[in-house]
Every structure is written in C-alpha cells, then in structure tokens.
C-alpha cells in the first residue's frame, strides 16, 4: 500500500510541505514524520533532509515552485494539509533584489493560497515577525520615555500596529509582501473560503540555520552566521549601525514544538495568527556578539587561534542603499499559551550555545575533510 494511503487510515495526515528543504522545513519534516504523518516535501534542494529521505513516509519533489513542470494543483489536491514555508528570509536579499523578493514571497505564495482555496485544503502559512516593523519608540523617536515600558516592543498578533519605513528603504518590501499576504488570507477567511493559520517566527536559530558566508559565493546569511565565521576564522564581528537593536532568539526545538501543536489542533488554530518566540530571550546584537565570543573563548577556541574582534559598520556599507532595521521585537505569546498550551523552554544561553556547537562541529568536520 502506498505511504499516502497508509497515512489516511488513522489520525495521521498527508502533508504537503512547500519549502521543506530549508532550516525550519527540515526540522519540521523530521517532527511530522516522527508523529506518523506522511510528508511530501517540495524544494529546490534536499541536502538538509538526509534523514527524512530514508523514511518511507517521506517523498521529495525537487522543483522550483515557479517552474511550470511542477503541478501545484495536483500536489495540493492530494494533501490533507498544506504548509507553506517558501520564502527568501534574509535581509541582504531584500536589499539586493527587492522585486524578486516580492515575486516569491507574495505572488508565488498567493498561488499556493489560491490552490488551497480551490481544493478546500487547510493551509499553515509562514509569515514573519518582521511584519510588525519597528517598535513604537523606534518609529517615533522617543515617544515613550520609559525604555522598559512593554509597549515599546511587545507585539500582539491582533492588536499591534505594523510600522514600516518609507518606500526608499526597500528592505521593507519583504515585510510588506508578507503583511499583504496575511491580509489576503484573512479576507478569504472572512468569506469562509479558506481554513488558514498564520505563524510569525521570531528569530529561530539552531542546527542547519543558514551557512557561513564563505561557504557560498555572494551569499547573504543572517547575523549568526556572520558572527560564527568571524569566531572560527579570528575575523571581525561587525555591528551594523552600532548593534543596539535587539532580537528575541528562539531555539528551533521550541519552535517546532509549537508548530506541531498547530498541526495537531486545527480547530484551535483556525483563522489564527500566532507569534512564535521565546519572549525572555531578548538580546541586543552587540550583546549577542559579546555572548558568542565569551562562549567561543570558553568552549571552542583552539590554542593559538586568533580571537575575533568586534567593530562597527553602517547599514549602508554592510547591506547597501535601501537598508533599514527593526529596532526591537518581543513576541506576546499569550495566544499560543492559551490555545496551544505552548511554552518555550530553552534559555538564551542554551539557544546560542547549542547553535554554536553545531557550527563548530560542522566547521571542524569540513576542516578535517580539507586537511
């Protein structure tokens, strides 16, 4: 009996995971398979899916979603649940190729949503914490005097405004595309045409996130990879615009636990938007650089290996014209707590350390291969 039929005989689902080969997708696929679901992954690459590929309940379609040879309607109609993770999610790309970011992150995602509407399928749509844009204080100068006032940056799914920079700061095309997609799904939901759940990840990190900038020519990973490369090679950790902007880092296992609950509780998650983030794990980028360097010195720096330095650079010099930034973003997770009984468990120290362990292991393995 084919795996997809077997999946239908109990509570397990046939899940179409679009973008399964990425960082979040690969971890989510592993979890869904462990829970007994049958997963069809679609992505342009499957190198992060080696374990899944050995599982008979997993099948992989290596294709670009925009490639006319991929039959989106057939894939959606064969699934019980569609998970859409397809996105460019690295700020360097928003600055370098804004129109392409809009094409993939809005137009292609829209086609997926429309296919779900056509076939009456439940959709879990990945969005981003970036849709909130800047905090109120960050947008209005010093509108709130007390920097500890939680209204500065605690974002609530159904209450917080979305404050983005001007059009000439084209970094915001990504957040604008995601925000518009969310609004279209909401509109379909109002008409009863689509069963959707939207998730807004808050800086997930963990094994398999990105790659070192030197591993891929012209690649533009997120900050963790830049800092890791500086640590591993004794280079310079560059703080963009001073590094006083902050992020809230969420360990991938916590995030996947929340996502698995969304999959398992369709009624609770129907027409909801969920922040997924570890709200206690806020740190400035400068603080992150210092924490990573301290951990690296204590646990990983080899005798005689040069120590990374920490320096500053402007956003314009680092990313190019059109860059702008979120100053601070902390998730309100009351909804995930109440509707999903979810609580993140990993501290900031654990989250950073576990992710660093992965990078160091991979780098030393690669060094061994090249030696």
* Residue 91 is a binding residue for ligand UGA (CB under 6 A): yes
Which residues, other chains included, contact 99 with Cβ-Cβ below 8 Å and sequence gap of 6+? 173
* Residue 46 is a binding residue for ligand UGA (CB under 6 A): no
Beta strands 204-205 and 250-251: pairing type? parallel
174 noted as active-site residue: yes
* Residue 104 is a binding residue for ligand UGA (CB under 6 A): no
Residue tagged active-site, from 88, 174, 249, 296: 174
- CA 357 to chain CA centroid, Å, is 20
* Residue 101 is a binding residue for ligand UGA (CB under 6 A): no
Min. distance of Cβ 203 from ligand UGA in angstroms? 4
Which residues, other chains included, contact 118 with Cβ-Cβ below 8 Å and sequence gap of 6+? 73, 76
* Residue 325 is a binding residue for ligand UGA (CB under 6 A): yes
* Residue 112 is a binding residue for ligand UGA (CB under 6 A): no
From residue 369, alpha-carbon distances to 186, 208, 213, 365, 366 in Å are 50, 19, 19, 6, 5
With CB under 6 A as the contact rule, which of the stretches 2-10, 74-82, 219-227, 265-273 interacts with ligand UGA?
A: 219-227
Among 7, 89, 153, 356, contact with ligand UGA (rule: CB under 6 A): 89
- CA 150 to chain CA centroid, Å, is 24
- From 326, 327, 320, select the one nearest 94 (Cα to Cα): 320
Min. distance of Cβ 97 from ligand UGA in angstroms? 14
Site size toward ligand UGA, by CB under 6 A: 20
* Residue 129 is a binding residue for ligand UGA (CB under 6 A): yes
User: What residues from 269 to 298 belong to the interface with ligand UGA (CB under 6 A)?
Assistant: 285
10 Å CB burial of residue 169 (0-12, 13-18, 19+) is middle
Which of residues 189 and 235 has its CB atom nearest to ligand UGA in the complex? 235
Among 40, 46, 128, 272, contact with ligand UGA (rule: CB under 6 A): 128
Q: What is the DSSP letter of 305?
A: P
Min. distance of Cβ 287 from ligand UGA in angstroms? 11
* Polymer length of the chain: 371
Which of residues 106 and 204 has its CB atom nearest to ligand UGA in the complex? 204
Q: Where are the alpha helices (DSSP H) in the chain?
A: 3-7, 23-34, 50-53, 72-77, 91-96, 98-102, 109-119, 136-139, 172-190, 223-233, 252-264, 266-269, 285-295, 315-319, 334-340, 348-370
CA–CA distance, 154 with 332 (Å, rounded to integer):
6
Which of residues 130 and 253 has its CB atom nearest to ligand UGA in the complex? 130
User: What residues from 179 to 218 belong to the interface with ligand UGA (CB under 6 A)?
Assistant: 201-204
Beta strands 58-62 and 154-155: pairing type? unpaired
Among 239, 255, 256, 269, contact with ligand UGA (rule: CB under 6 A): 239
Which of residues 223 and 308 has its CB atom nearest to ligand UGA in the complex? 223
Residues marked active site are found at 174
User: Where does this chain bind ligand UGA (CB under 6 A)?
Assistant: 89, 91, 128-130, 201-204, 222-223, 226, 238-240, 243, 245, 247, 285, 325
């Amino acid at each position: 009996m084919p795996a997809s039929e077997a999946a239908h005989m109990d509570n397990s689902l046939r899940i179409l995971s679009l973008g399964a080969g990425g960082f979040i997708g690969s971890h989510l696929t592993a979890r869904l398979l462990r829970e007994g679901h049958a997963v069809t992954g679609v992505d342009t690459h499957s190198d992060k899916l080696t374990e899944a590929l050995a599982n008979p309940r997993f099948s992989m379609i290596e294709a670009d979603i925009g490639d006319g040879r991929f039959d989106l309607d057939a894939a959606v109609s064969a699934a019980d649940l569609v998970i859409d993770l397809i996105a460019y999610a690295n700020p360097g790309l928003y600055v370098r190729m804004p129109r392409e970011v809009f094409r993939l992150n809005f137009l292609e995602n829209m086609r997926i949503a429309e296919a779900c509407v056509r076939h009456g399928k439940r959709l879990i749509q990945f969005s981003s914490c970036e849709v909130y844009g800047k905090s109120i204080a960050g947008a209005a100068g010093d509108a709130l005097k007390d920097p500890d006032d939680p209204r500065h940056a605690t974002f609530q799914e159904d209450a917080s405004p979305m404050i983005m920079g001007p059009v000439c700061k084209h970094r915001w095309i990504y957040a604008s595309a995601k925000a518009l997609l969310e609004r279209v799904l909401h509109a379909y939901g109002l008409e009863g045409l689509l069963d959707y759940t939207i998730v807004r990840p808050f800086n997930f990190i963990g094994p398999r996130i990105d790659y070192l900038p030197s591993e891929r020519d012209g690649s533009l990973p997120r900050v963790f990879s830049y800092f890791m490369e500086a640590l591993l090679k004794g280079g310079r950790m560059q703080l963009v615009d001073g590094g006083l902007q902050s992020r809230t880092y969420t360990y991938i296992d916590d995030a996947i636990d929340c996502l698995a609950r969304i999959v398992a509780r369709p009624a609770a998650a129907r027409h909801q938007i969920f922040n997924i983030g570890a709200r206690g794990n806020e740190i400035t980028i400068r603080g992150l650089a210092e924490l990573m360097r301290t951990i690296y010195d204590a646990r990983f720096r080899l005798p005689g290996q040069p120590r990374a330095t920490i320096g500053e650079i402007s956003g314009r010099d680092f990313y190019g014209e059109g860059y702008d930034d979120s100053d601070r973003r902390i998730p309100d997770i009351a909804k995930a707590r109440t509707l999903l009984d979810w609580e993140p468990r990993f501290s900031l120290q654990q989250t950073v350390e576990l992710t660093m362990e992965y990078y160091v292991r991979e780098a030393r393995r690669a060094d061994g291969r090249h030696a």
